[in-house]
Amino acid sequence: MMKNEPAGINALAIKELKRIPGVGNSIASYLIELGIRGVADLAGKDPEALYTRFCVTRGCKIDRCLLYVFRCAIYFAETPDPDPEKLKWWNWKD
């Protein structure tokens, strides 16, 4: 949760972000840490930049599966009629 942010706003953001395939409570909270509050906030974002920033905030290299979820999430945010196969995070591997 972001500092000084009311718990209710955080709960709404988590609920909104969990609409993204492959995103549960943990990854939703990671996105919130990165300043993402809703699906629309992901449009136009660079998944590699989000992943790198998250690794820096944690002070260590995070499993690249998180990058794949970020790629999938951005695709979901930017695509009005997404391909169901592209909504599986594991299909976004390098």
> What is the average per-residue pLDDT within 29-35?
95
pLDDT at 29 over 80: yes
pLDDT band at 9 (very low <50, low <70, confident <90, very high): confident
Instruction: Give CA–CA dist 63/82, Å, rounded.
Output: 25
Instruction: Give CA–CA dist 58/51, Å, rounded.
Output: 11
Whole-model pTM over 0.75: yes
pLDDT at 93 over 90: yes
Contact between residue 13 and residue 19 where contact means Cβ atoms under 8 Å apart: no
Please calculate the CA angle 23-24-25 and round it to the nearest 5 degrees.
130
Instruction: Give CA–CA dist 64/93, Å, rounded.
Output: 8
pLDDT the model gives residue 86: 97
Phi-psi bin for 4: left (phi > 0), alpha (psi -120 to 50), beta? left
> What is the average per-residue pLDDT within 36-55?
97
pLDDT at 48 over 80: yes
